[in-house]
């Protein structure tokens, strides 16, 4: 054993601990944790007598990095994909506002049933709002479907009932 080697696995174990902690942190600190893992693992390879912990930490770090890279890639793809959006409103006589394909809002008055199908990118806002006319009582139901799957739904009833839903097309991937 050389003069620079310690009789422990301290640095390797620290690197493993950072790996474990990084699994439970927000992605904002991912690069900082990766740097810590690599630094302590390399020091452990140079100074610790039992190098297995440092080697394991480097392998674990490589796995974490590849996993994060794939997640980032998938997130980017889902933002750039186009999704089929279907808006649906059922009411007794209501005013409807929804996000159109260009990201603006379209309004329709005195609707009893409203259906609209558009295409949107994954990171664009989806908003659907309906409010019964002041002369109408009853329920209002609003629904947003993405690629045929229900994303969000809300129902309200009573005088001047209103319902609204909000989301992003890419949120359907999180179900």
3-state secondary structure 25-51: CCHHHHHHHHHHHHHHHHHHHHHECCC
pLDDT in tens, 90-125: 998 899 999 999 989 999 998 889 999 999 988 889
Residues 48 and 125 reside in one and the same domain: no
> 63 with 120, same domain?
no
Range of the domain at 162: 82-169
Of 44, 79, 114, at which residue does a domain stop? 79
Q: What is the rounded average pLDDT for all residues in the chain? A: 84
Whether residue 8 contacts residue 53, with contact meaning beta carbons closer than 8 Å, is answered with no
Reading the block at residue 87, the tokens are 């808006």
Q: Is the confidence at residue 15, as pLDDT, over 90?
A: no
| Count of domains forming the chain | 2
* pLDDT mean over 50-72: 81
In a domain, 175, yes or no: no
Core vs surface per residue 108-141: b (16+ CB within 10 A) or e: eeebeebebebebbbebebebbbbbeeebeeebb
pLDDT(6) > 60: no
More confident residue, 134 or 86: 86
Q: pTM for the complete prediction?
A: 0.59
Indicate the pLDDT class of residue 1, thresholds 50, 70 and 90: very low
């Amino acid at each position: 054993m050389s003069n620079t080697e310690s009789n422990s696995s301290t640095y390797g174990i620290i690197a493993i601990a950072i790996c474990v902690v990084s699994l439970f942190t927000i992605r904002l600190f991912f690069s900082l944790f990766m740097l810590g893992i690599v630094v302590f693992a390399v020091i452990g390879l140079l100074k610790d007598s039992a190098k297995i912990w440092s080697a394991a930490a480097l392998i674990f770090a490589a796995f974490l990095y590849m996993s994060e890279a794939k997640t980032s890639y998938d997130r980017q793809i889902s933002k750039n994909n186009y999704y089929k959006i279907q808006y649906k409103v059922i009411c007794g006589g209501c005013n409807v506002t929804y996000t159109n394909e260009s990201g603006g809002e379209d309004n329709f008055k005195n609707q009893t049933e409203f259906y609209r199908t558009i295409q949107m990118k994954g990171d664009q806002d989806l908003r659907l709002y309906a409010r019964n006319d002041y002369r109408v009582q009853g329920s209002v139901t609003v629904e947003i479907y993405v690629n045929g799957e229900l994303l969000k739904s809300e129902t309200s009833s009573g005088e001047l009932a209103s319902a609204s839903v909000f989301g992003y097309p890419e949120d359907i991937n999180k179900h």
